Structure 1
Amino acid sequence: MTTASAQRRTGGQVIVDLLRRNGVDRVFTVPGESFLPVLDALHDAPDIELVVCRQEGGATMMAEAHAKLTGRPGVCFVTRGPGSANALAGLHVAAQDSTPLLVFVGQVPSGFQEREAWQEVDVQALFGSVAKWAIDLQHSARLPEYLGRAFATARSGRQGPVVIGLAEDLLYESVTAVDTAAVTPAQSYPAVRDVRALERRLAAVRRPLAVFGGSGWDGESHDKLRRFAEAHGVPVVTGFRRQDRFDNSHPLYAGDAGLGMNPALAALIEDADLILAVGTRLGDITTRHYQLLEVPRPHQQLIHVHPQPEELGRVYHTDLAICAGVRGFAETVALRADRPLDDKRRAWLERAGQVYRDWATPTESPGPMQLARVVQWLGQRLPPEAVVSNGAGNYTLWVHRFYPFRALGSALAPTSGSMGYGLPAAIAAKLADRQRPAVCFAGDGCFLMTCQELATAVQYGANVIVIVVNNGSYGSIRMHQERQYPGRRYGTDLVNPDLIGLARSFGADAERVDDSEDFPAVFERALEADHPFLIELTIDPSILKP
């Protein structure tokens, strides 16, 4: 029996209407003939922008970055076979970064499935180990049910990606489907007894340290947890590539627990008598390969706040496990302390802040390109809301050490260590808010992974700035290789194209900078440009870290 709100539409139209009802205003894709009814329905949906990308990995990365910036699930449509295989790159980012993402895969017709038809994929087998939920839709009448579950699954608990296979014939079918309301994801809140226990433990220790990370943050939570740290006198460390979770210019900021970690920060974590981990899973990199917090029982007291109950106690035994999302935790904790801080706690706070200030002082490198000073200058020149993105490679050590991330949403970087992420993420940032500067850092190897998305930036007028640190090698891999096999460098050198000519061929502007003293003038021209702008920084390949 249908209700009064039921309408007869094609499966493609039903999907687009459900996306609209759930607040989706931008969809990323590489078009495929397997989902033409969806494209046709989007033609009649001017309130949803369709962004046509050049490769499915870039498309899913853009959708993932869009989700990080907006707090709503990113949406991407890809075709079967090679299209869906390419999409795995961005899906893996979403999985490890706990980002809500919906990927729709155009499938072979339902009558052809399980025959290994042309480009057929088994959605559950291909994506099941990466996605929170992966399913092949078999009945178009169940589209409202399945999409509702997809939105809820992607956003609830530990957020993550969902993949839905769409049989081609079902998208053409005329179906009577009910217009459902937007999905409201479940929010978890800490119990009152747990909040009281947290406050008692914080008051009783001398050297507490908070680690902020994970997903599910918003502006209000960001502000409340800053005030919580101030009130209770707790220095803050941010997790790997989550530096925008706390203002890096704040006196309580102690640094980021990431690759190339500050030795003084590592000592600070080891000396802490209590670790308050909020949102973060306390993964491999954040714990320096599980050394700073021993498995299974750290020597520090451990209070772990996470929205997914299965993550609590998964690796570490906790003294207090609080199953709550970042938002729920921020709304519940006290923003005032009952007692003033003593001299020992004040000395601890000063030590923590000095750890970061000393580490953020620019280092000197051989040659005229002083990358540390370039990054420091950018931190002074760009407004706090500017978005800085990157992929993976040793060049990121300079970005994360010397750039001060001050606002939530200003850092877009994959905790999965995915090369090629920076450019798609910067494009997504510029499309989401054209008033915010969007600057991508990339190594030469990293940039060439997704450089074709410069065409996407040009097509949609996304005037991103791409800073390519060119050392003619896969520098990070070479560093590890030279440490493990001294004098036997092999397979890590690159012969690159003319990056300036390549960028201009896409319709971007581009300039090369060999001396860091020349960088500010070039960057000012890039800021004024109304189209993408690439700046190539040449660096000696022997310089592998700050």
Structure 2
Amino acid sequence: MTKQPSSGALARRNGGQILVDQLRQHGARRVFLVPGESYLPCIDALNEHRDAIEPIVCRQESGAAYMAEAYGKLTGDPGICFVTRGPGATNASIGVHTAFQDSTPMILFVGQVGNNFVEREAFQEIDYRRMFGPMAKWVAQIDATDRIPEYIARAWRVATSGRPGPVVLALPEDTLWGEAEVADAEPMPRLHVYPGQPQLDELKARLAKAERPFLLLGGSGWTAEAQQQIAEFAKRFALPVGVAWRRLECFDQRNPLFAGHVGMGMDGDLRQRLIDCDLLIAVGTRLGEATSEGYSWITSPEPRQSLVHVYPDPEELGRVYRADLAINADVVGFAQSLGELQPDSEPRWQQATHQANQQYLATREPQPAPGELNLDRVGLCVDRLLDGKGCVTVGAGNYALYPHRFVRFSGLGSSLAPTVGSMGYGLPAAISSKLEFPERPAVCFAGDGCFQMNLQELGVALQYRLGIVVLVFNNGMWGTIRAHQERDFPGREIALTFTNPAFTTLVEAYGGQGRVVERDEDVEPALRWALEFAERERLPVLIELRYESDYIAPGQRLSEIRDAALARIAEQTAAD
């Protein structure tokens, strides 16, 4: 960090130096970037922070933004991403959208044309306020060098407070090249929002009257301590616990209270349990479209269940659902407040909670599959070999249902999955996890289409010697869309298949190793080899899973979806 003179006079620094000094002051340990001439002073300033801030040079801005977003999920601090103006910003926008819908703290810095050229549609000029306004918590442009500390302090605060999310700051060239004598801004301690005692008393009273309660956890901002506190609360009240869509890291799924992953594609028994529950305690989750399965098992605006909704943003409370008890608190503040809450008698629903856990365990039983490779068993094998250690990442696609159903996630940092359903996320997220926790395994599940959206980031794994394991599900098509196509236009498949490269050869070009697996008996030896190679050589490993394309999801076949759709159409035609 640039030192201030001992006499008390302020050092004269350029904008890049001031900005990077502020990042260090606020605790940034890593920045993800694709270099651009528009913010060269910031790149140069990193020289003075080699001992504290690690720059990760990415291959494309979407990969950089995804890595920063994953960093925000893993640490609770803003993931920092630098990109150049115009094309760089547009490429990075997918990471900003992911951070917004996933409520992840993130700061995207975008180079901008100088103020002397602005509003002329100069080279690569974009109005970032208009571009990012709907997908960020705050978008601003720093037009004065001496105000950089103020903007960085505010950006950090906005990204991490209330419902966390992304901030975008545009950096005009004259701001970064300009100089100023300005004091650093000290970071503020993070604030937590706590429930009031009357709300806790009412929560206890509602639990005392309930017959079929259910605790649903989700959202962001969790700490290991908060997760432990919420688990102790659930144990005292013998509550069945579910996790919201793709928030699998919010609760240790080896816990005997765990009832399942709530959202699209969930088990029918779990769905019915949610419909029938008479008290739903939703903590940290918005109860969005994916978690609610299209606002079906919980209806808007009046839920059939008695709803206790705990959320850090008061504007979200009542936005979609009218809660019987709305509590404006973040997950840390709420969890800390539950310590004194004790049941006055033995909970009446203990047997139902045990049954919910048994039903969850039953969903992990592998189902028959066509061909010689059963993907259910692949998920179970990964679960067995990881044994609660490491991080599993996914992007988007039906293949993600296999780890989500068959891997038991163990809490904070064990899962990185975009709730926004963005493709190409898994590989950059696995890289970010391995950078943050080099001693833990990082396993990326990726569809063949999803993987190819950001496969160039294997170069980051090579450059920084990161031993990640990538499982590529190769069925030669956009599988999720194909399933929808068969439901809506059965037997009319078109424009959804593609020819894949030799994935194992591709990973070798990036210094790693690869294997093809086509039979059940080869899965465990290949996974053991991959995990050992990744740990020993600190290089990427890829396992290409080749399987019957009819095998589209756990317990589902494309041919069955098509046949059901054709039968429905025939029935409708006959009725007409």
**What interval of TM-score do these two structures reach, taking the shorter chain for normalisation?**
over 0.9
Alignment pair present for 1:227 and 2:232: yes
Q: How many residues align?
A: 544
How many Å apart are 1:540 and its aligned residue? 1.1
Structure 2 unaligned segments of length 5 or more: list them.
555-576
- Whether the 8 Å CA contact 1:224–1:335 is kept in 2: the answer is no
Q: CA deviation at 1:383?
A: 3.6
Q: Which of 500, 507, 512 matches 2:511?
A: 507
Q: Does 1:213 align with 2:213?
A: no
Match of 1:155 in 2: 160
**Which residue does 1:539 correspond to in 2?**
547
1: CA distance, partners of 2:478 / 2:118: 41
Change over 3 Å in CA distance of 1:42–1:347 after alignment to 2: same
My pick for the range that moved more, 91-100 or 3-12, is 3-12
Q: Who is 1:130 aligned against?
A: 135
- 1:103–1:161 contact (8 Å) kept in structure 2: yes
1:183 is matched with: 188
Q: Distance in 2 between matches of 1:258 and 1:500?
A: 34
2:359 corresponds in structure 1 to 355
Q: Is the 8 A contact 1:273 1:300 kept in 2?
A: yes
Deviation at 1:259, TM superposition (A): 2.4
CA distance in structure 2 between the aligned counterparts of 1:265 and 1:416, rounded to whole angstroms: 23
- Which 5+ residue runs of structure 1 have no aligned equivalent? none
- Residue 496 of structure 1 is matched in structure 2 by 500
Farther off after superposition, 150-159 or 198-207? 198-207
Deviation track 1:104-123 (CA, whole Å, cap 9, x = no partner) reads 00001111111100001111
Q: Is the 8 A contact 1:385 1:409 kept in 2?
A: no
Secondary structure of the structure 2 residue equivalent to 1:311: coil
Give the corresponding residue for 2:328: 323
Task: Provide Cα deviations, 1:24-73, integer angstroms capped at 9, x if missing partner.
Answer: 01000000000000000002211100000000000000001011111111
Q: Which amino acid aligns with 2:130?
A: A
Shift of 1:303: 0.3
Contact 2:229–2:339 under 8 Å retained in 1: no
Aligned to 1:421: 425
Q: Following the alignment from structure 1 to structure 2, what is the Cα–Cα distance between the partners of residues 399 and 335?
A: 36
Whichever residue aligns with residue 75 of structure 2, its letter is T
Say if 2:461 and 2:468, in contact at 8 Å, map to a contact too: yes
Secondary structure class of the residue paired with 2:552: coil
Q: Secondary structure at the match of 1:374?
A: helix
Q: Which residue of 1 is the match for residue 562 of structure 2?
A: none
Corresponding residue number in structure 2 for 1:404: 408
Partner Cα distance (2:53, 2:42) in 1? 12
Q: Secondary structure at the match of 1:540?
A: coil
Q: CA deviation at 1:471?
A: 0.5
Q: Is the 8 A contact 1:152 1:184 kept in 2?
A: no
> What is the 5 A alignment of 1:23-172?
23-46=27-50, 47-172=52-177
> Aligned to 2:109, what secondary structure does the other structure show?
strand
Query: Structure 1 residue 335: deviation in Å?
Result: 5.3
* 2:374 aligns with one of 358, 370, 376: 370
2:75, 2:299 → 1: CA distance? 35
Out of 451, 469, 473, the position equivalent to 1:465 is 469
Distance across 2 between alignment mates of 1:7 and 1:186:
31
What is the rounded CA distance, in whole Å, between the counterparts of 1:486 and 1:149 in structure 2? Answer: 53
Letter in 2 for 1:391: G
Counterpart amino acid of 2:90? A
Distance in 1 separating the partners of 2:190 and 2:495: 47
Q: Which residue of 2 aligns with 1:193?
A: 198
Report the secondary structure of 2:318's partner residue: coil
> What secondary structure does 1:111 align onto?
coil
Separation in structure 2 between the aligned mates of residue 496 and residue 181 of structure 1, nearest angstrom: 51
Instruction: Pick the aligned partner of 2:13 from 3, 9, 15.
Output: 9
2:241 alignment counterpart:
236
Distance 2:522 2:392 in 1: 21
Structure 1 residues 213-362: aligned runs within 5 Å: 213-334=218-339, 337-342=342-347, 344-362=348-366
Q: What is the alpha-carbon distance in structure 2 between the residues aligned to residue 507 and residue 150 of structure 1?
A: 38
2:372 alignment partner AA: P
Q: Is the 8 A contact 1:228 1:335 kept in 2?
A: no
**Of 306-315 and 180-189, the range deviating more from structure 2:** 180-189
Aligned with 2:419: secondary structure?
coil
Aligned partner of 1:532: which letter? P
- 2:371 maps to amino acid: G
State the AA in 1 paired with 2:197: V
Give the SS at the match of 2:216: strand
SS at match of 2:315: helix
Match of 1:449 among 428, 450, 453: 453
CA–CA distance in structure 2, aligned partners of residues 353 and 299 of structure 1 = 23
1:387 maps to: 391
Superposed CA deviations along residues 280-322 of structure 1, whole A, max 9, x for unmatched, are 0000011111011111001100000000000000000010000
Out of 347-356 and 20-29, give the one that drifted further. 347-356
In structure 2, give the amino acid aligned to 1:544.
I
Shift of 1:457: 0.8
Structure 1 runs (4+) deviating above 3 angstroms are: 2-6
- The residue matched to 1:165 in structure 2 has which SS? strand
- Residue identity matched to 2:202: A
Higher mean Cα deviation, 485-494 or 499-508? 499-508
**Alpha carbons 1:232, 1:336 under 8 Å: kept:** no
Are the aligned partners of 2:69 and 2:106 in contact in 1 as well (CA < 8 Å)?
yes
SS of corresponding position for 2:471: strand
Aligned 8 A contact 2:443 2:468 in 1: yes
Residue aligned with 2:49, SS: coil
**Alignment deviations for residues 148-183 of structure 1 (CA, whole Å, 9 cap, x no partner):** 110000000000000000001211111111122123
Normalized against structure 2, the TM-score is what?
A: 0.93
CA distance in 2, matches of 1:430, 1:5: 42
Alpha-carbon separation, structure 2, partners of 1:186 and 1:353? 35
Deviation at 1:85, TM superposition (A): 0.1
Q: Structure 2: which amino acid aligns with 1:359?
A: T
Identity of aligned residues (%): 47
- What do the CA deviations read for 1:498-544 (whole angstroms, capped 9, x no partner)? 11111111222111111121111111221122211011001111111
1:56-108 Cα distance to aligned partner (Å, 9 max, x none): 00000000101111111100000011100000111111001000000000001
State the partner residue of 2:526.
522
Q: Which moved more, 1:33-42 or 1:240-249?
A: 240-249
Deviation at 1:347, TM superposition (A): 2.2
CA contact (8 A) 2:364 2:405 kept: yes
Q: 2: distance between equivalents of 1:119 and 1:180? A: 31
SS in 1 for 2:308: strand
- Give the C-alpha shift of residue 497 in structure 1: 1.1
> How many Å apart are 1:354 and its aligned residue?
1.8
2:267 counterpart letter in structure 1: N
Question: Per-residue CA shift, 1:443-462, capped at 9, x if unaligned?
Answer: 00000000000011110111
SS of corresponding position for 1:110: coil
Letter aligned with residue 314 of structure 1: R
Counterpart of 1:114, as a letter, is E
Partner Cα distance (1:183, 1:106) in 2 = 26
Question: In the aligned structure 2, how far is the partner of 1:185 from the partner of 1:109?
Answer: 34
